[in-house]
């Protein structure tokens, strides 16, 4: 059932009507909105996690902050433009999205060992 829900979310993400391209001025409408962050591990089939949190603006930068405040992910322009609004129909089709205003689907792969020093820790711990 969990995989089926993720598959539905994936289909909904790509079938959403193209939302208007946002500019820096109207990203502020996302501030303090609830968001479901869906992260797919591309290294392993059917490995998807959903993180609950909010979009937070600070000094003109935007972040995903998890509900437990352990995850802090910078949202660049590309990610901000990929955020989709959740409508009532989506909540019915994918109950795991109920209660969120927005969602963002991201993919995750292995980090090359030679680049680790230049990366920022997001707090995401994939291994459980």
Cβ(39)–Cβ(51) under 8 Å? yes
User: pTM of the predicted model, to two decimals?
Assistant: 0.69
Q: pLDDT tens digits for 35-77? A: 999 888 888 888 888 889 999 998 888 999 988 888 888 899 9
Task: Return the biggest CA–CA distance within the chain.
Answer: 45
Please name the residue ranges forming H helices in 16-105: 77-82, 88-93
Residue pair 104/113 in contact (Cβ under 8 Å)? The answer is no
């Amino acid at each position: 059932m969990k995989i089926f829900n993720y598959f539905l979310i994936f289909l909904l993400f790509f079938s959403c009507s193209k939302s208007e391209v946002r500019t820096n001025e109207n990203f502020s409408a996302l501030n303090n909105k609830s968001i479901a962050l869906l992260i797919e591990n591309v290294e392993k089939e059917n490995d998807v996690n959903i993180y609950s949190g909010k979009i937070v603006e600070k000094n003109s930068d935007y972040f995903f902050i998890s509900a437990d405040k352990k995850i802090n992910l910078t949202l660049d322009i590309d990610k901000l433009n990929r955020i989709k609004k959740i409508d009532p129909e989506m909540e019915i089709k994918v109950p795991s999205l109920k209660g969120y205003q927005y969602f963002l689907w991201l993919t995750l792969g292995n980090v090359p060992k030679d680049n680790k020093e230049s990366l920022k820790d997001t707090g995401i711990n994939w291994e459980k």
